């Protein structure tokens, strides 16, 4: 991929492999990739990558060989517009204060930071470099040839770390907005210009952009193409760090950097800012080049204070928000933690399962619920859609004797209607819609999903669904791709990290599958349940779209796993021409109901392949 800061370039890309975003392993494919980088000339690697890229969606080993993003990345600086003044004229110009707290060492890197600020298209800025007095000689050396009056140095005897220097710079700032930078990092030339445009268009309180990383060899690597504002994602990974920009007056409410979070003071501040900000804006362009450690390098430092501080910042956020919960280690990714909101009280959870003539599969589903679930205050409601099979009828009779509520509904199949009927007959405060071709793996699945579903901002809660034949991912979230809603990371290894840990951490998604979907009854009723005009396909996506449009966030509890014997109940719609035609018609109907979401997914990114599900870079 060639990124002309959000705009595809016609220039031939220089092949640069994104660095691994998870702990290194000795998988044969990883070894082969490393050998190829050493043994093959650049041209041969380019040729091989072009041949393999089209195959990666079908073959997990090829995806692993190509690495995160599925291809090469090169940042290309954009061309300056002929004039920027008319675009920004309004009541007043937005003025930025760029704060750079400085530690010791690396004067050359600080010079690169200064040069990137001086090169900004947008002229209304001040750069405030704050340091401990012990670092002053090095800072003065870096500034020896600087004559710009907009740059100032502050130095005091500081008792704290970098966070204290940052607060010193913020206190001296005169701008309307604070832009946070780290020593040695660089802004892209249009960074402040793009931020000013976004502020003028939206009145944002807090903004963040996409970013990449400068490797020790000076290459642009590891681009992080981020989602729009995602509160639960921010509790999983610090994605709103660079470039971060906040309205100065908002800091009067939230406070500034705090002691006790050294190394993750920006994460702590971002959590507090986003609790108070009314308008949070994501600029989907690479506006920042970081020289800091990669996410994988940070995660490898399991015992470092930085990791511990990030954990404390999120624990403090849970306590501050009054959310009972804990931070738990992600076993598949040492150094990472997920926030786990605890279930509050012992609400009745109604599990609603449509089924017909599917006794063997339904029996396995019910047995798994009844024998593996650690949460016991449940009600199982089976919607019998006209069963005639004697074995299945006998199963339903036995289950009724054990307390399962069986609701007969002998009518043409309408998944939405069946679930709505089930909801009306259910007594639970929380509703879990479940396919009969699933089997529970995670014992505390209900507690985990309910902990999210009870949060005021959460709409639908999904789970990770696994193909039993391969152990690979069937569902970890739905992306609204150019071809329509599609399952993200389909067929990925269940324990693989995915793009910036999307396969292991709790991310917000535009939609989750109805094969396992929990929602509070109050919110389900608020959006009027499933839309019965969509009897077979996309009714779950439509429900999630309406929850999003109502202001809620959908999330996948990635620690929850179930097996999903997909399409056992009704077959594969894509394999039947008639069903395929109906599927296409239902997809068109979905977008007629939600025209503003046609071709748009706020939780994906326009720099990613609109036809892909593995977060491949746009070509």
Q: What contacts 64, CB < 8 A, 6 or more positions away?
A: 27, 29, 30, 496
Q: What is the pLDDT of residue 142?
A: 73
Q: What is the pLDDT of residue 13?
A: 31
In the chain the first and final C-alpha atoms are separated, in Å, by 5
Q: What is the pLDDT of residue 46?
A: 54
The better pLDDT of the pair 542, 38 is held by 542
- Mean pLDDT computed over every residue of the chain: 87
Q: What is the pLDDT of residue 249?
A: 96
From CA 477, how far away is CA 509, in angstroms rounded?
6
What is the arithmetic mean of pLDDT over 38-48?
64
The better pLDDT of the pair 91, 329 is held by 329
Residue 235 confidence (pLDDT) above 70: yes
What tens digit of pLDDT does each residue of 396-421 get?
999 999 999 999 999 999 999 999 99
The encoded tokens of residue 183 equal 């020593």
Q: What is the pLDDT of residue 196?
A: 95
From CA 540, how far away is CA 530, in angstroms rounded?
7
Q: Where are the alpha helices (DSSP H) in 216-332?
A: 231-234, 251-254, 265-276, 295-300, 305-321
Lowest mean pLDDT among 34-43, 88-97, 197-206, 222-231: 34-43
What is the arithmetic mean of pLDDT over 558-569?
85
Of 371, 386, 404, 566, nearest in space to 395 by CA? 404
Q: What is the pLDDT of residue 207?
A: 98
Residue 215 confidence class, pLDDT cut points 50, 70, 90: confident
φ/ψ of 77, rounded to 5, equals -65, 140
Residue 374 confidence (pLDDT) above 50: yes
Q: Where are the alpha helices (DSSP H) in 402-551?
A: 415-425, 445-453, 521-526, 539-549
Q: What is the pLDDT of residue 23?
A: 36
What is the arithmetic mean of pLDDT over 60-85?
71
Residue 508 confidence (pLDDT) above 50: yes
The better pLDDT of the pair 375, 183 is held by 375
Lowest mean pLDDT among 42-56, 146-160, 321-335: 42-56
Residue 14 confidence (pLDDT) above 50: no
Lowest mean pLDDT among 285-299, 301-315, 412-426, 573-587: 285-299
Q: Does 243 sit behind a cis peptide bond, omega within 30 degrees of 0 on the bond before it?
A: yes
Residue 232 confidence class, pLDDT cut points 50, 70, 90: very high
Tell me the CA distances in angstroms from 487 to 353, 419, 517, 619, one per residue in order.
21, 22, 14, 21
Most confidently modeled of 142-146, 214-218, 345-349?
Answer: 345-349
Q: What contacts 78, CB < 8 A, 6 or more positions away?
A: 4, 5, 7, 188, 189, 190
Residue 367 confidence (pLDDT) above 60: yes
Residue 84 confidence class, pLDDT cut points 50, 70, 90: confident
Q: What is the pLDDT of residue 87?
A: 58
Lowest mean pLDDT among 527-531, 567-571, 582-586: 567-571
Most confidently modeled of 304-313, 342-351, 610-619?
Answer: 342-351
For residue 18, the 8-state DSSP code is P
Residue 120 confidence (pLDDT) above 70: yes
Q: What is the pLDDT of residue 88?
A: 58
Lowest mean pLDDT among 72-81, 130-139, 200-209, 527-536: 130-139
Q: What is the pLDDT of residue 609?
A: 92
Q: Where are the beta strands (DSSP E) in 136-200?
A: 151-156, 177-180, 186-187
Q: What is the pLDDT of residue 159?
A: 67
Residue 555 confidence (pLDDT) above 50: yes
Of 591, 574, 594, 565, nearest in space to 436 by CA? 565
Residue 61 confidence (pLDDT) above 70: no
The domains found in the chain, sorted by start residue, are: 2-75 (no CATH), 85-293 (3.90.550.10), 349-466+501-564 (3.90.550.10)
Q: What is the pLDDT of residue 317?
A: 98
Residue 17 confidence class, pLDDT cut points 50, 70, 90: very low
User: Residues of the chain with pLDDT > 90: what percent?
Assistant: 69
Residue 53 confidence (pLDDT) above 80: no
Q: What is the pLDDT of residue 200?
A: 92
Q: What is the pLDDT of residue 15?
A: 30
Q: What is the pLDDT of residue 18?
A: 32
Residue 274 confidence (pLDDT) above 70: yes
From CA 86, how far away is CA 476, in angstroms rounded?
45
Helix H or strand E segment including 129: strand 125-132
């Amino acid at each position: 991929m060639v990124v002309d800061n959000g705009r595809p370039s016609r220039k031939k890309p220089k092949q640069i492999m994104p660095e691994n975003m998870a702990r290194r392993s000795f998988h044969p494919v990883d070894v082969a990739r490393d050998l190829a980088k050493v043994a093959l000339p650049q041209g041969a690697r380019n040729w091989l990558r072009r041949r393999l890229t089209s195959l990666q969606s079908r073959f997990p080993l090829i995806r692993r060989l190509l690495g995160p993003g599925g291809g090469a990345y090169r940042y290309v600086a954009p061309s300056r517009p002929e004039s920027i003044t008319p675009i920004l004229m309004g009541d007043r110009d937005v003025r930025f204060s760029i704060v750079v707290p400085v530690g010791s060492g690396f004067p050359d890197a600080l010079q690169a930071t200064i040069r990137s600020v001086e090169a900004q298209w947008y002229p209304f800025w001040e750069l405030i470099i704050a340091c401990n007095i012990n670092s002053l000689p090095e800072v003065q050396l870096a500034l020896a040839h600087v004559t710009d009056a907009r740059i100032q140095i502050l130095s005091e005897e500081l008792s704290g770390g970098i966070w204290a220097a940052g607060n010193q710079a913020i206190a001296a700032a005169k701008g309307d907005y604070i832009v946070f930078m780290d020593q040695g990092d660089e802004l892209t030339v249009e960074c402040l210009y793009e931020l000013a445009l976004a502020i003028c268009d939206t009145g944002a309180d807090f903004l963040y952009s996409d970013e990449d990383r400068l490797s020790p060899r000076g290459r642009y690597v590891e681009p992080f193409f981020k989602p729009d504002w995602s509160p639960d994602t921010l509790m999983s990974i610090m994605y709103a760090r660079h470039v971060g920009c906040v309205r100065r007056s908002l800091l009067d409410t939230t406070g500034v950097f705090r002691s006790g979070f050294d190394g993750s003071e920006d994460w702590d501040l971002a959590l507090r800012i986003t609790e108070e900000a009314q308008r949070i804006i994501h600029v989907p362009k690479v506006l920042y080049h970081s020289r800091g450690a990669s996410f994988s390098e940070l995660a490898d430092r399991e015992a470092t204070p930085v990791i511990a501080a990030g954990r404390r910042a999120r624990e403090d956020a849970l306590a501050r928000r009054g959310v009972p919960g804990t931070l738990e280690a992600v076993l598949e990714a040492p150094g990472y933690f997920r926030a786990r909101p605890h279930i509050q009280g012992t609400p009745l959870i109604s599990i609603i399962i449509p089924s017909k003539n599917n006794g063997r599969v339904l029996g396995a589903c019910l047995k798994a619920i009844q024998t593996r679930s650690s949460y016991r205050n449940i009600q199982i409601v089976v919607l019998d859609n006209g069963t005639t099979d004697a074995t299945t009828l006998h199963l339903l009779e036995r289950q009724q004797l054990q307390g399962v509520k069986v609701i007969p509904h002998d009518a043409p199949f309408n998944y939405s209607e069946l679930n709505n009927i089930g909801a009306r007959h259910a007594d639970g405060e929380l509703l879990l819609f479940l396919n009969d071709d699933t089997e529970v793996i995670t014992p505390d699945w209900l507690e985990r999903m309910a902990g999210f579903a009870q949060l005021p901002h959460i709409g639908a809660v999904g789970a990770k669904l696994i193909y039993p034949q391969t152990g690979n991912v069937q569902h970890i979230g739905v992306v609204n791709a150019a071809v329509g809603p599609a399952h993200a990371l389909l067929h990925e290894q269940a324990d693989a990290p995915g793009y910036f840990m999307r396969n292991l951490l709790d991310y917000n998604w535009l939609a989750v599958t109805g094969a396992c979907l929990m929602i509070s009854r109050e919110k389900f009723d608020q959006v009027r349940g499933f839309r019965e005009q969509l009897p077979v396909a996309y009714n779950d996506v439509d429900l999630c779209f309406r929850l999003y449009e109502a202001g809620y966030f959908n999330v996948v509890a990635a620690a929850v796993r179930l097996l999903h014997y997909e399409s056992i109940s009704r077959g594969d719609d894509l394999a039947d021409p008639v069903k395929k035609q109906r599927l296409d018609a239902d997809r068109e109907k979905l977008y007629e109901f939600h025209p503003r979401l046609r071709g748009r997914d706020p939780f994906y990114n326009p720099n990613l392949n609109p036809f892909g599900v593995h977060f491949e870079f746009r070509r």
